[in-house]
Chains A and B, each alone.
Chain A
């Protein structure tokens, strides 16, 4: 309670404010009272005087009427007996009847004088005199004073009463509860479950609400404290856990600040960095002050991690204080407060393994030379070098051993590897030590001649290489002869990048090989152009195969003795949508090279069988021969596929003939033989085409199962009675007959040639004299026409 009365207490303040307010109200009220009391007093005085005059009016009238001074004096004295009247003056007409004043000393207040006319008592409206009363100002002043005193007293006790009531109210309804709550709050321990009591009678007041709010707040605070406590416990556990991880981790873990100073680190990092533990106390270790191979990497890493605000990784090589070196993978992640958390792994072994792998990836294990990747890298380096420092350029030589595959087949793979190693050794002796050697694939090598550009020198080098490689190699004591084709490209004339240099060198080498091998060719842009054209053509052919732009034409083959058409040779044509009909010699070589030949061959087989089936249905007993390329044997046209096609179209195998060339027999004797036997076992006949142009070895006729020879058109066309060609044809026919082979003469263009062949005893003929190749639609007509023509000799 005493506390409530201190200067800062609510009670004290309230009382002060109330008193001030009341003083203000009191003064204002009194001021108003002073102001109004006077006029009210004057007004009241006037009213009273008026009433006073009313009481003496009739006497005054009479007095004036009769001008009776005595009577007037009597009336005036009577009026003066009223204390409020100071002076009375009565006039009759213009004559003053009487003028009486109470105290001569007092100054009459003329302003407030009351004057009234006096009428005749007998004639209304007849004014016969006037009376004038002057009120006594002292009397009025006294009244005013009394009034003010009374009002002041009244106001004082009223205000005192109200103030007292307020103080009591405040004390009992506000201050006492609050101080009780305050005392309780001081004693209260919320965590022990203490809560405030609502003061009696305050259950529904603001005090009650306040107490409830405080209690609720205390509850929430206690709850929050409990949670915080639990969290802190959990955090301590976590921290111990993380500390264990930190201490026991294999990786180096550390904290580094913006300046590169290491704030803390774990034992693993100390081991990695070779830091002595006591240095940790100093805390002045700087990450970038360690002996890095490239300190700028660390500076850049720090900078990047801080500016990018995300984890950054670098690999760096560190030299430890003990002199050992190790590769570290360092990851820095921002953790706020201008700090980075770092993790360092020892990647020395990984680096070493990587270097080995990289080396191995670039090196050919057999010869120890660079492989293709190594060459390409070296080329790129050389090109970059040239760009940085333009010089004389350099030269790339592409070396392909001629017919190396055939040799391998003959001597075996391991002997081949021996030879390749020897080739690598010999190449090494032909170039300078800073030139580069590479083995690109099995029998392909390459040389980069640095700072060498003029054709003459290059020519000397290629001669030297060829000469070196041309020396016999001793395999198991017997000499093996090798030759090589070389393609030469020069940077920057023949190509600006490694792939084009390599491609162009290969093109040049292909040209050398096409020229027979054992030679070198410089790259010629025309080669690239031709290659480009070939690529175009190849695309066209692929499309042609997809869109079935190919078509079979048929050239009749005549049984000379019987004088009628026995069969036909199927010849492929390409009906190009823009270029029209393309002859086979324009696209077959490319088809063979590109590997499209297999697809085309199967299509030809299928289409021929379809045609045979059609003829069969039409009652035509003709056979049909199709050309088979050496590339189709043995896998491009497997005997099973032939059997399947025949079966699918329901054709006897004897109706189909396959024409092969000598090259097939030469290329792979074993495979060719097996394939021929399989085909013949089906009942399909085999023709040897273009007989007489190549080796025309008679041993073939013995070794390979053949049915028919086709004498090359050159013999037939040159044939005249008695000449060499004539004799050769006679000999071939005779020989064939002797080994049981039939003969077809190709290129018959005149009736004379047909007669000669008939005379010789050649069984079959084919050529323009009989018919050009025709479409399937025209064939029946052409065949009938030939039959008619041959039936009438001399036509």
Chain B
């Protein structure tokens, strides 16, 4: 299964029609440098709410209907939006786990990210600016790659 997943990702990455390319970011002033996919999944799906620095993390979701949200979860845990919603619905009644902070529009995500300490969100790559730092990306850029792995 991981192999198949890998191929799928590869396909997505090379497909020019896919314009949504979510990357996980934190506020730039945060100490967090890098997160693994697993850490990202744990944070966004309610398993942990703490960063490596010890700070509690507050995941911020894109609006429920956004294509980015769908793409993010799809790429992260290979689940569609309905599954993620069902998951949270189940936890909603029994558990103490809470879903990520829900937003209503795209811009609110960045605002919340920058305002909430420990905030962590996923945005379109092209939305990333100096205020935020990429801590996880599904498809690292070739430049990044060449730089990281000389």
Which residues in window 52-68 of A have CB below 8 A to B?
Answer: 59, 62-63, 65-68
Q: How far is the CA of A582 from the CA of B109 in the complex (A)?
A: 189
User: Which of B61-69, B89-97, B113-121, B129-137 is the interface stretch?
Assistant: B89-97
Say yes or no: B95 contacts A65, CB within 8 Å: no
Say yes or no: A66 contacts B2, CB within 8 Å: no
Q: Which of A71, A124, A126 contacts B94 (CB 8 A)?
A: A71
Q: A121-B87, A124-B1 are in contact. Are A66 and B95 (CB under 8 A)?
A: yes
Q: How far is the CA of A123 from the CA of B77 in the complex (A)?
A: 7
Q: Which of B77, B79, B97 contacts A68 (CB 8 A)?
A: B97
Q: How far is the CA of A718 from the CA of B44 in the complex (A)?
A: 205
Q: A65-B47, A66-B46, A68-B97 are in contact. Are A122 and B77 (CB under 8 A)?
A: yes
Say yes or no: B47 contacts A67, CB within 8 Å: yes
Say yes or no: A122 contacts B41, CB within 8 Å: yes
Q: How far is the CA of A74 from the CA of B2 in the complex (A)?
A: 32
Tell me if B110 counts as interface (CB < 8 A to partner A): no
Q: A62-B91, A122-B45 are in contact. Are A68 and B96 (CB under 8 A)?
A: yes
Q: How far is the CA of A623 from the CA of B98 in the complex (A)?
A: 197
Q: How far is the CA of A122 from the CA of B84 in the complex (A)?
A: 10
Tell me if A125 counts as interface (CB < 8 A to partner B): yes
Which residues in window 35-68 of B have CB below 8 A to A?
Answer: 38, 41, 45-47
Say yes or no: B47 contacts A125, CB within 8 Å: no
Q: A62-B87, A125-B2 are in contact. Are A70 and B94 (CB under 8 A)?
A: yes
Q: Chain B residues near A121 (CB, 8 Å)? A: 87
Q: Which of B38, B76, B90 contacts A62 (CB 8 A)?
A: B90
Say yes or no: B87 contacts A68, CB within 8 Å: no
Q: Chain A residues near B47 (CB, 8 Å)? A: 65-67
Binary flags per residue of A70-84, CB closer than 8 Å to B gives 1, else 0: 110010000000000
Q: How many residues of B contact A (CB 8 A)?
A: 18
Which residues in window 123-138 of A have CB below 8 A to B?
Answer: 123-126
Closest residue to B73 on the A side, CB-wise?
A122
Q: Chain B residues near A126 (CB, 8 Å)? A: 38
* Distance in Å: Cβ of B44 to nearest Cβ of chain A: 10
Which residues in window 15-67 of A have CB below 8 A to B?
Answer: 59, 62-63, 65-67
Q: How far is the CA of A126 from the CA of B77 in the complex (A)?
A: 12
Q: A65-B45, A67-B47 are in contact. Are A123 and B38 (CB under 8 A)?
A: yes
Q: Chain A residues near B1 (CB, 8 Å)? A: 124-125
* 19 further A-B pairs in the complex, CB-CB below 8 A; given A66-B45, A122-B76: A59-B90, A62-B87, A62-B91, A63-B95, A65-B47, A66-B46, A66-B47, A66-B97, A67-B47, A68-B91, A68-B95, A68-B96, A68-B97, A71-B95, A74-B94, A122-B77, A123-B38, A124-B1, A126-B38
Which A residues are closer than 8 A to B by beta carbons?
A: 59, 62-63, 65-68, 70-71, 74, 121-126
21 contacts between A and B (CB under 8 A): A62-B90, A62-B91, A65-B46, A66-B45, A66-B46, A66-B91, A67-B47, A68-B91, A68-B95, A70-B94, A70-B95, A71-B95, A74-B94, A122-B41, A122-B45, A122-B76, A122-B78, A123-B38, A123-B77, A124-B2, A125-B1
